[in-house]
């Protein structure tokens, strides 16, 4: 295969898999909602989940969202962690944390929901002997 055919083949493969926007939601503790952060298509590919969370936490938010953001930072900074579907996030590929969804108008996007959970204090064994 010559160089021109290789370039055309790579271009065709890239077009087969279109880039989609990413919506990242970070929820503090046991709250029902958190802050949403949208990454435009093409701006988040190649990043890991930790760098996207850091970018999301550094963005400017409304006054209401700043209160939620403060709770998230408090949870994480006090020895807490981020969870995806009840499990620790790690350095696995970003695709492990993404779900493809559609808007009402049919536009596709990726969605990821993370929970910021602080380690519980105390918590000794409480059971029957």
Q: Determine the CATH number of domain 20-117.
A: 3.10.20
102 C-beta neighbours (distance < 10 Å), count: 9
User: pLDDT digits over 75-119, tens only?
Assistant: 888 788 888 988 888 766 788 889 999 999 999 999 999 999 887
How far is residue 55 from each of residues 18, 48, 51, measured CA to CA in Å?
Answer: 23, 11, 6
User: Strand runs (DSSP E) across the chain, as ranges?
Assistant: 22-28, 35-39, 81-84, 87-88, 99-102, 108-117
Do 82 and 76 meet the contact criterion of CB atoms below 8 Å apart?
A: yes
- What mean pLDDT, rounded, does the chain reach? 79
pLDDT higher than 60, residue 6: no
User: pLDDT digits over 67-86, tens only?
Assistant: 999 999 888 887 888 889 88
Where do the structural domains in the chain lie, given as residue ranges? 20-117
Query: Which pTM value belongs to this model?
Result: 0.74
């Amino acid at each position: 295969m010559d160089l021109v055919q290789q370039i055309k083949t790579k271009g065709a493969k890239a077009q087969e898999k279109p880039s989609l926007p990413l919506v990242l939601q970070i929820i503090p503790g046991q709250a029902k909602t958190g802050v949403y952060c949208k990454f435009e298509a093409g701006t988040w590919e190649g990043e890991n989940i930790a760098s996207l969370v850091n970018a999301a936490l550094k963005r400017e938010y409304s006054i209401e969202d700043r209160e939620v953001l403060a709770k998230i930072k408090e949870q994480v900074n006090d020895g807490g962690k981020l969870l995806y579907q009840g499990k620790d996030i790690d350095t696995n590929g970003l695709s492990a944390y993404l779900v493809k969804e559609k808007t009402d108008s049919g536009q596709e996007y990726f969605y990821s929901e993370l929970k910021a959970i602080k380690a519980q204090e105390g918590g000794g064994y409480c059971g029957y002997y």
